Amino acid sequence: QVQLVESGGGLVQPGGSLRLSCAASGSIFSINLMAWYCQAPGKERELVARIFSGGSTNYADSVKGRFTISRDNAKNTVHLQMNSLKFEDTAVYYCYVNYGRNPGSDSWGQGTQVTVSS
């Protein structure tokens, strides 16, 4: 079973930055997709950014130009650089990975709290 361990969340002022990290461990032979989702209180979990094995990326419109997703293949780690943070970014952020042969297997991180407040 693949496990995802997240880190980097915390409290930051508006306009500040945070860098989230997610390290995958376990029986991993190939990673097809890694992604970050967020979930604010009372709302559904939403896709923030994702990166495919070939390196292509997708971002939610609300974070384009502010967030950057990246991956270290050798370490099976994905990062989310969060700049120019806004109050609206406050949420629990979850790491996700799809790995193995089609249809692949899924794993979720435990979530890390990001709070943007003055």
Give the tens place of pLDDT for each residue, 38-56: 999 999 999 999 999 999 9
Q: How far apart are CA 67 and CA 59, in angstroms?
A: 8
**Cβ atoms 91, 38 nearer than 8 A:** yes
Mean pLDDT confidence for 110-114: 97
Q: How far apart are CA 26 and CA 111, in angstroms?
A: 18
Q: How far apart are CA 57 and CA 70, in angstroms?
A: 9
The answer to which of 11-15, 24-28, 68-72 has the lowest mean pLDDT is 24-28
The residue that leads in pLDDT, 33 or 29, is 33
Instruction: Write the CB contacts of 57 (distance below 8 Å, at least 6 apart in sequence).
Output: 49, 50, 51, 69
Q: How far apart are CA 4 and CA 118, in angstroms?
A: 30
Both tokens assigned to 69: 């997703």
Neighbours of 20 (CB within 10 A): 24
Q: How far apart are CA 101 and CA 26, in angstroms?
A: 16
